[in-house]
């Protein structure tokens, strides 16, 4: 060291070097702190981004899953409905087949030359006439039948007239306007039902009884009686056909 307390060049240089080393050390330490803080902030930001993307993906997955579930339920419901419609259509057709079979059987039992059918006509005429009687009055009634049934129908009308007497009723068999003829072979092969209504113009037997003015009519044809019986027995028919 120089006299009088003055520093030598070497000492000044050493002190400067010491200060530079201290500053470098401080700078490095500060740089490490900044780098560590930046890395921590990056890690936090990265976690936030990853979590946000994860949540978005989960939400999108849930949305698509819900959409697929709803679509699957709709398709299943549509398939079940289609199956129900097919079953109902098959059942309806089976009921129609039963009714068609019954109609064909009617055609077989309404032979004008049959004694059994002649007796049936007597019951049908008498039943129809009784429904149109008026107490304490003499009513004029008209009976109509198929052209092929005129002979047994005359006997049936005569029987009803004798049974009830002229004090209650006076009967006329209208042979000029007969009921439609029996179904042909072609008619038998056709479906006579359309929306539950018989569309056939053929008559399978029986009579129609009406007042003289035609305002009140009792349809006692076999076709009409079959419809009434079938409608009344339809629940039992369905139960017999489709019981589980």
Query: For residue 196, what pLDDT is reported?
Result: 45
Strand locations in 88-228, DSSP E? 139-144, 169-173, 193-194, 197-198, 206-211, 217-221
**What class, spelled out in words, does domain 110-242 have in CATH?**
alpha beta
Query: For residue 244, what pLDDT is reported?
Result: 47
pTM value surpassing 0.85: no
To which H or E segment does residue 87 belong? helix 9-109
Q: Write down the domain spans for the chain.
A: 110-242
Query: For residue 157, what pLDDT is reported?
Result: 97
Q: CA 40 to CA 22: how far, in whole Å?
A: 27
Query: For residue 126, what pLDDT is reported?
Result: 96
Q: CA 27 to CA 38: how far, in whole Å?
A: 16
Query: For residue 177, what pLDDT is reported?
Result: 95
Put the strands of the sheet holding 139-144 in their side by side order.
169-173, 139-144, 206-211, 217-221
Task: Output the tens digit of pLDDT for each of the chain's 244 residues.
Answer: 455 567 788 888 888 888 888 888 888 888 888 888 888 888 888 888 888 899 999 899 899 999 999 999 999 898 888 888 877 777 777 767 777 777 788 778 888 999 999 999 999 999 999 999 999 899 999 999 999 999 999 999 999 999 999 889 999 999 999 999 998 766 654 555 544 445 568 899 999 999 999 999 999 999 998 888 777 656 765 666 666 4
User: 169: exposed, middle or buried (C-beta count within 10 Å: 0-12, 13-18, 19+)?
Assistant: buried
Query: For residue 195, what pLDDT is reported?
Result: 45
Query: For residue 16, what pLDDT is reported?
Result: 86
Query: For residue 96, what pLDDT is reported?
Result: 74
User: 38: exposed, middle or buried (C-beta count within 10 Å: 0-12, 13-18, 19+)?
Assistant: exposed
């Amino acid at each position: 060291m120089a006299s009088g307390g003055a520093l030598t060049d070497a000492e000044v240089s050493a002190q400067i070097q010491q200060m530079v080393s201290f500053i470098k050390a401080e700078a490095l330490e500060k740089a490490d702190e900044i780098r560590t803080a930046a890395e921590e902030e990056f890690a936090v930001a990265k976690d936030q981004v990853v979590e946000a993307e994860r949540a978005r993906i989960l939400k999108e997955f849930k949305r698509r899953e819900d959409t697929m579930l709803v679509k699957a339920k709709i398709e299943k419901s549509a398939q079940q409905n289609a199956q129900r419609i097919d079953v109902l259509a098959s059942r309806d057709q089976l009921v129609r087949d039963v009714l068609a079979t019954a109609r064909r059987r009617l055609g077989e039992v309404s032979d004008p030359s049959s004694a059994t059918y002649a007796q049936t006509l007597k019951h049908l005429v008498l039943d129809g006439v009784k429904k149109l009687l008026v107490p304490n009055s003499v009513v004029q009634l008209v009976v109509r039948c198929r052209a092929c049934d005129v002979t047994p129908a005359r006997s049936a009308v005569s029987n009803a007239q004798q049974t009830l007497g002229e004090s209650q009723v006076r009967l006329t068999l209208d042979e000029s306007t007969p009921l439609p003829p029996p179904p042909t072979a072609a008619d038998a092969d056709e479906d006579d039902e359309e929306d539950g209504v018989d569309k056939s113009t053929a008559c399978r037997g029986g009579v129609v009884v009406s007042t003289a003015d035609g305002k009140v009519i009792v349809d006692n044809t076999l076709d009409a009686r079959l419809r009434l019986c079938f409608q009344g027995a339809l629940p039992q028919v369905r139960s017999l056909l489709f019981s589980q």
